[in-house]
Amino acid sequence: GFTKSYPTNGEFICPSSGKPCSCGEGKVLNCESSAGAATYGGHRPVSYNEIDGSLYKEKELIFPPELVLRNNLPLKLHGFGGIRWYRPLKLKQLLNLRSLYPAAKLVVGNTEVGIEVNFKNAQYPILISVTHVPELNVLSIKENGIDIGSSVRLSRLQEVLREVIAEREIHETSSCRAISDQLKWFAGKQVKNVASVGGNICTAAPISH
Of 68 and 124, the structure prediction assigns the larger pLDDT to 124
pLDDT in tens, 85-110: 999 999 999 999 999 999 999 999 98
For residues 183 and 157, the answer to whether their CB atoms sit within 8 Å is yes
Residue 161: pLDDT over 70: yes
Residue 209: pLDDT over 80: no
Report in angstroms the alpha-carbon separations of 50 from 46, 61, 178, 184: 6, 17, 52, 42
Q: Which of 14-18, 97-101, 137-141 has the lowest mean pLDDT?
A: 14-18
pLDDT at 36: 43
Which of 65-74, 139-148, 196-205 has maximum average pLDDT? 139-148
Whether CATH 3.30.465.10 fits 138-208: yes
pLDDT at 69: 81
Of 31 and 177, the structure prediction assigns the larger pLDDT to 177
Report in angstroms the alpha-carbon separations of 138 from 91, 150, 155, 159, 203: 13, 8, 14, 14, 21
pLDDT at 200: 81
Of 15 and 110, the structure prediction assigns the larger pLDDT to 110
**Where in the chain are the domains?**
1-70, 75-129, 138-208
pLDDT at 39: 47
Whether CATH 3.30.43.10 fits 75-129: yes
Quick one: CA dihedral 173, 178, 184, 186, positive or negative?
A: negative
Average pLDDT over residues 40-54: 50
Kindly give, in sequence order, each residue whose CB lies less than 8 Å from that of residue 175, ignoring residues fewer than 6 positions away: none
Average pLDDT over residues 43-50: 50
Average pLDDT, the chain: 79
Of 42 and 143, the structure prediction assigns the larger pLDDT to 143
For residues 133 and 86, the answer to whether their CB atoms sit within 8 Å is no
Tell me the pTM.
Answer: 0.66
pLDDT at 5: 44
pLDDT at 116: 84
